[in-house]
Amino acid sequence: MKRAVILFGHGSRDPLWRRPIDAVAALLATQAPELPVRCAFLELTAPDLATAAGDLVAKGVTHITVVPMFLGTGRHVREDLPTLVDHFRHACPQVEFVLQPPVGEDPRVLQMLAKIAME
């Protein structure tokens, strides 16, 4: 099984908006150089999820974990993203797609946010 990760964000017209997601991708590339990592965005920023997933599938990846880089579960995470991932599951049945909960709901992230807020 060849694994990969897609860090999925909302997107923005402001090109500086994506810096934190790119930084997470760079950290992953340093910490796990054997793990392909891509960033993808819902709107306003390239690449979209189809492009990122298509690139990984073309490279022979058979397991893709999609990590929503959102603070909470809003409409995009609850409705739009699962619909997109389901599309890929049907289009690429040879690939396992795993959709994680948004990073902002992870207790470790919440603890870190609380620490930052107390400073």
- What would the pLDDT profile of 73-118 be if each residue is shown by its tens digit? 889 899 999 999 999 999 999 999 999 999 999 999 999 999 999 9
pTM over 0.85? The answer is yes
What is the residue-averaged pLDDT of the chain? 95
pLDDT digits (tens, 9 = 90+) for 81-92: 999 999 999 999
Go through the domains of the chain in sequence order and give each one's CATH number: 3-118 (3.40.50.1400)
Q: In the 3-class helix/strand/coil scheme, how is the chain assigned residue by residue?
A: CCEEEEEEECCCCCHHHHHHHHHHHHHHHHHCCCCCEEEEECCCCCCEHHHHHHHHHHCCCCEEEEEECCCCCCHHHHHHHHHHHHHHHHHCCCCEEEECCCHHHCHHHHHHHHHHHHC
